[in-house]
């Protein structure tokens, strides 16, 4: 294990550079980029590199939806939540008009109904137990958290179970997606989307003020939010749709189960044309997987560039148990609820789709339950 140490000339302090993992992260990214370029897929290469940038941005800004939503619910602190809205507002500037005006681009849309609400609620419970959401799991796994390896594994299992459950939940009914640009046009839809974000921000600040809590985002959340928002736009232009995370997990899980002999030919979800094709195709043909891989390796590179990688001890058993349960709930909920906080909330709201806000409002009560359950597993409520 070639953990080397180099001196920082300016500070004079020692910075640990983990050359093994830094080399692996950069080398693995380069190989994946080369593989998709060999298939003449430059946009796929852009998605990997966009994910790589997102991994660095999330890790460096310590941008955590799970922790910031928890702080808002327990203490009224709104800075992290507002940082997340910065991401959505920036992303919406491109997604709403381009998706409405260009036929080869689409927004993140989803029907409104019991499936969306139940899925988001269960996801909320899971994200507080797992201590990570869709993006958080990726960048903390990439950052060297052993606990989050368990979360990711069970997230994947849960999302496959969710894929098997989704047709039954869709049968409960619902209404077609409600998209602002369908009613107001591309620019009116953008104005309505930005107004809805401003309204949400105002309500969040009002709650924070009423509870006497801080509502100003930290510098790292402002800069991180801007960087992540810009990268979201880049991913949107490369992939043709807003950044999504958890579909990749579902696909990886299904491929693993299929390799172990599981037959998906009777599973409704995997008979829908897109999913059937994705299951049969290379994993590097899936946009979510490309950004996911890039994000893991980006976070790994950023973490390994500053300290010895994965050098901490394993967490206590109860914490790992919470990671497993939380991951399972996150995976199942994300599939039933049409995505996680990235694909459903950020992608949905940034597309001007009403389901994004419905997902958020259904997820928060789930978070409250998850926060109450955390002490059972030795986790703080704060």
Partner 1 sequence: MRKTYIAVVVLTFVAIVGNHLTSPSSGRAVSPEDFAGACAPCGAPCPSKK
- CB-wise, 248 or 370, nearer to partner 1? 248
Give min distance, CB of 233 to partner 1, in A: 17
Question: What is the SS3 assignment for 339?
Answer: coil
- Within 230-259, the residues that bind partner 1 by CB under 8 A are 238-241, 244, 247, 250, 255
Q: What gap in Å lies between CA 50 and CA 42, rounded to an integer? A: 12
Q: Please say whether the beta carbons of 300 and 309 come within 8 A.
A: yes
Q: Which of residues 66-95 bind partner 1 (CB under 8 A)?
A: none
Q: Which of 24, 237, 257, 357 binds partner 1 (CB under 8 A)?
A: 24
Rounded distance between C-alpha atoms, residue 325 and residue 125, angstroms = 10
- At residue 359, φ and ψ (nearest 5 deg) are -60, -45
The answer to whether 171 and 380 have CB atoms below 8 angstroms apart is no
Q: How far is the CB of 338 from partner 1 (least distance, A)?
A: 5
What minimum distance in Å lies between the beta carbon of 264 and partner 1? 14
The contact pattern for partner 1, residues 178-217, with x = CB under 8 A and - = no contact, is ----------------------------------------
HEC string of 60-115? HHCCCHHHHHHHHHHHCCCHHHHHHHHHHHHHHHHHHHHHHHCCCCCCCCCCECHH
Q: Find the part of the chain contacting partner 1 (CB under 8 A) among 186-194, 203-211, 286-294, 360-368.
A: 286-294
How many angstroms separate the most distant Cα atoms in the chain?
63
From the list 54, 122, 278, 302, which residue makes contact with partner 1 (rule: CB under 8 A)?
A: 278
Of the candidate residues 55, 79, 327, 339, the single one contacting partner 1 (CB under 8 A) = 339
Nearest alpha carbon to residue 366 among 329, 322, 324: 329
**What part of residues 93-152 is at the interface with partner 1 (CB under 8 A)?**
106, 108-111, 113, 144, 146, 149
Question: Smallest distance from the beta carbon of 202 to partner 1, in angstroms?
Answer: 29
Distance, in Å, from the CA atom of 152 to the CA atom of 110, rounded to the nearest integer, reads 24
The one segment of 29-37, 89-97, 220-228, 320-328 that binds partner 1 by CB under 8 A: 29-37
Q: How far apart are the first and last CA of the chain?
A: 36
Among 173, 202, 316, 378, binds partner 1 (CB under 8 A): 173
Residue 310 burial (C-beta neighbours within 10 Å; 0-12, 13-18, 19+) = middle
Closer residue to partner 1 (CB): 158 or 224: 158
Q: Which is nearer to partner 1, 72 or 309 (CB)?
A: 309
State which of residues 16, 174, 185, 188 lies at the interface with partner 1 (CB under 8 A): 174
Q: Is 174 helix (H, G, I), strand (E, B) or coil?
A: coil
Region of 76-84, 166-174, 204-212, 371-379 interacting with partner 1 (CB under 8 A): 166-174
Helix (H) or strand (E) holding 7: strand 3-7
The structure tokens listed for 231 are 């990268």
316 — alpha (psi -120 to 50), left (phi > 0) or beta?
A: beta
Beta-bridge partner residues of 17: 4
Residues numbered 298-337 forming contacts with partner 1, rule: CB under 8 A: 300, 309-314, 335
Q: How far is residue 189 CA from its own chain's centroid?
A: 24
Segment near partner 1 (CB under 8 A); pick from 67-75, 173-181, 187-195, 216-224? 173-181
Binding site for partner 1 (CB under 8 A): 1, 20, 24, 28, 31-32, 35-36, 39-41, 43-44, 47, 106, 108-111, 113, 144, 146, 149, 163, 166, 170, 173-177, 238-241, 244, 247, 250, 255, 269, 272-275, 277-278, 280-288, 290, 293, 300, 309-314, 335, 338-339, 343, 347
């Amino acid at each position: 294990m070639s953990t080397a140490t180099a001196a920082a000339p300016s500070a004079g302090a020692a910075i640990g550079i983990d050359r093994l993992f830094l080399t692996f992260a950069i080398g693995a990214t380069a190989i994946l980029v080369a593989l998709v370029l060999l298939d003449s897929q430059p946009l796929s290469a852009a998605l990997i590199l966009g994910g790589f940038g997102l991994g660095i941005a999330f890790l460096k800004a310590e941008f955590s939806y799970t922790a910031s939503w928890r702080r808002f619910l327990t203490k009224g602190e709104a800075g992290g939540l507002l940082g997340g809205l910065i991401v959505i507002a920036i992303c919406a500037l491109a997604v709403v008009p381009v998706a409405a005006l260009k036929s080869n681009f689409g927004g993140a849309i989803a029907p409104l109904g019991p499936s969306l609400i139940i899925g988001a609620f269960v996801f909320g419970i899971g994200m507080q137990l797992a201590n990570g959401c869709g993006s958080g799991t990726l960048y903390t796994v990439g950052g060297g958290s052993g606990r989050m390896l368990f979360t990711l594994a069970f997230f994947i299992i849960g999302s496959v179970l969710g894929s098997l459950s989704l047709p039954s939940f869709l049968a409960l009914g619902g209404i077609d997606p409600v998209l602002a640009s369908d009613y107001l046009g591309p620019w009116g839809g953008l104005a309505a989307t930005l107004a809805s974000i401003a309204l949400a921000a105002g309500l969040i600040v009002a709650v924070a003020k009423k509870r006497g809590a801080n509502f100003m985002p930290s510098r790292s959340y402002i800069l991180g939010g801007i960087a992540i928002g810009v990268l979201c736009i880049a991913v949107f232009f490369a992939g043709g749709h807003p950044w999504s995370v958890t579909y990749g997990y579902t696909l990886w899980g299904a491929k693993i189960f299929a390799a172990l002999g599981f037959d998906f030919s009777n599973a409704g979800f995997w008979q829908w044309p897109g999913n059937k094709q994705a299951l049969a195709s290379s994993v590097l043909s899936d946009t979510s997987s490309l950004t996911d891989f890039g994000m893991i390796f980006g976070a790994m590179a950023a973490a390994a560039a500053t300290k010895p990688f994965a050098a901490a001890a394993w967490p206590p058993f109860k914490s790992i148990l919470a990671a497993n349960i939380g991951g399972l709930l996150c995976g199942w909920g994300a599939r039933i609820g049409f995505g996680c906080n990235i694909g459903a909330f950020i992608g949905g709201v940034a597309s001007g789709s009403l389901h994004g806000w419905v997902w958020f409002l259904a997820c928060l009560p789930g978070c409250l339950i998850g926060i109450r359950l955390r002490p059972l597993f030795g986790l703080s409520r704060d």
